[in-house]
Chains A and B, each alone.
Chain A
Amino acid sequence: MKSPKFVTLEEAVSLVKDGSSIVCPSFGYEKVAFAFIRELIRQRKKDLYLYGSGMNVDADMLIGAGCVSKAEIGYIGFENIGIAPCFRRAVESKTLEVEDYSNFIMTARFFAGDMGIPYIPMHSGLGSDILRYGNPEHIKEITCPFTGEKLLGVRAIHPDFAIIHAQRVDTEGNVSIDGPKYDNIEKAKSAKTLIVTCEEIVRSEMVRENPESAILPSFLVDYVVEVPFGAHPYACYKYYDYDWEHIEMYAKMAKSPEGFQEYVEKYIFSVKNNWEYLERIGLEKILRLRANSSLGYSTYYEHLERGAE
């Protein structure tokens, strides 16, 4: 049986060579391997091919730092905060090439990759400009061989690397989570190499007592990295909440290339590792973001004044 290697964050990131294709699940500002993203930027990776469904601040940062040259996406934006500024600049200045799909199309493509089949038929995309401008090597209109109905055929994806974040991995390498799975399992299983970052490495008995929380068995995992608060400024359900103030600060700073440079200098290049990064965030903020154990998230925001942010 193949078992994963337990490595440092720096070692894991050094495996990703320039020009690799990656998927780093990024839905819901939760359970995202953000420390890994920062280390990719710190190691100044180039020419990455980014795959994803719904992506947010993490993708914007990678793009802003010049790490990505091509992306196949469902979405890159900040939802209620608005447009992802680095993504916008990169597309408008043509330094980033994009193929636009929907979240379900991308999820289905990872699912096809995960199941070992070349494509999946579905009902999304038809009649829209997603089909019109989509790459015919990746999506095309097809006819069902059984019913004759029109469908969209979407091609499987097999990224070089998937990097996911979990609450815990046991000493054998089994991956266990709390909260939503999004399309993280499909993404993880579709990749050629799977790297898992986690809040903690736990004794195997803990996962074996709750096998329903396990999402990936050890033999699918190639590398494991322990990174406490590794999803910050995003959340990790039952551990800590998202740092909305930090996300809004990033959104504001990234509006100009100079502001973005200032951000990455302060929070990535001038800190050695994730511990120094967390020191920059500060002890008070870290403690305020700790999840309330009756809710699974922090009550910090509920105590702010109306319209205070």
Chain B
Amino acid sequence: MSQQYSSLEMMVVSASRELKDGEVVFVGTGLPMLAAQLALYTHTPNLVIMYESGYIGCKNIHLPRLVGDIRLMYNLAMVGSMIDVLGLLQTGKVDVGFLGGAQVDMYGNINATVIGDYRNPKTRLPGSGGANDIASSANRVLIIMNHEKRRFPSKVDYITSPGYLDGSEDARKKKGLLGRGPAKVITDLAVLTFDEITHRMKIESIHPGFTLKDVEPQTDFELIYDKVSETQAPTEEELKILRDRVDPLGFYLVRRERK
């Protein structure tokens, strides 16, 4: 049977599938929170969810609206300090960093600081928060972002959080960065990955109902691909859990959809 779902739901569901059971995930603000929570209730019951606010091992019953939400105190394994959790990133014990952002470029560098020139910005954005720390040091990084041309420039206006930098061999290692860098970018149109040699963004799968003709015009650089598959549509179970258990008030799902 065909199930109705929104592109936002498709994005959150496909992002949640990137997490594996038993992993330790450091979650940034926004949609990553929703995707991690969905994963916990579906295929990764042993996922350890961490937030920079100090929360570790979250099994909250009410959806947090920000990474420091006191709803996360309920049913929690441990609350540490920011030094505790951000420091853990540098020890290599955090498997996944999960981030949003305003812009991502062909090498997975993320901008969350300014649109335009840093010294003379067109739009001033909030800045790094913990994102630079997560992108620098988590073992692998997942990025979730709406697929729009202005959000996918060939080069970001400001590198808030490092991806593969200029894409050259060992660019991250040479700069002294610990983590391996971005593994996937999950959008409302597609799941993207990075070429192992050139570190360029590459299409892995396109969501049902869309084709290359939809993805390419929304990307301001040439996307590479060899075999493009179709992303598996959200299952009835995933949608039910997402709507009824993760976000029953529609805080993310309804409000963001309206835009």
Interface set of A (CB-CB < 8 Å, partner B) = 27-30, 53-54, 73-80, 83-84, 87-88, 91-92, 100-105, 107-108, 111, 122-130, 132-133, 141, 149-152, 179-183, 185-186, 235, 237, 241-242, 244, 295-297, 301-302, 304-309
Shortest B103–chain A CB gap in Å is 12
For residue B86, CB closer than 8 A to chain A, the reply is yes
CA distance A78 to B53 in the complex (A): 15
Neighbouring A residues of B162 by C-beta, 8 Å:
126-128
Counting chain B residues whose Cβ lies within 8 A of the other chain, the interface size class is 35 or more
**7 examples of A-B residue contacts, CB within 8 angstroms:** A28-B67, A28-B68, A76-B127, A79-B65, A80-B65, A104-B130, A182-B68
The answer to whether B126 touches A123, judged by C-beta atoms less than 8 angstroms apart, is no
* Residue among B79, B81, B126, B158 having the largest count of chain A Cβ atoms under 10 Å: B126
Instruction: Given A27-B68, A306-B250, decide whether A129 and B118 contact each other with a Cβ distance below 8 A.
Output: yes
The answer to whether A104 touches B86, judged by C-beta atoms less than 8 angstroms apart, is yes
Q: SS class of chain B's interface: helix, strand, loop or mixed?
A: loop
**Which residue of the partner chain, among B54, B65, B158, B176, contacts A151 with CB atoms under 8 Å?**
B176
The answer to whether B124 touches A126, judged by C-beta atoms less than 8 angstroms apart, is no
Shortest A80–chain B CB gap in Å is 6
Instruction: Given A103-B82, A180-B68, decide whether A128 and B176 contact each other with a Cβ distance below 8 A.
Output: no
The answer to whether A104 touches B133, judged by C-beta atoms less than 8 angstroms apart, is yes
Instruction: Given A150-B176, A297-B71, decide whether A102 and B133 contact each other with a Cβ distance below 8 A.
Output: yes
CA distance A88 to B30 in the complex (A): 20
Neighbouring A residues of B124 by C-beta, 8 Å:
83, 87-88, 91-92
Shortest A176–chain B CB gap in Å is 15
4 tightest A-B contacts by CB?
A28-B68, A77-B126, A150-B176, A127-B175
Chain A residue at minimal CB-CB distance from B118? A133
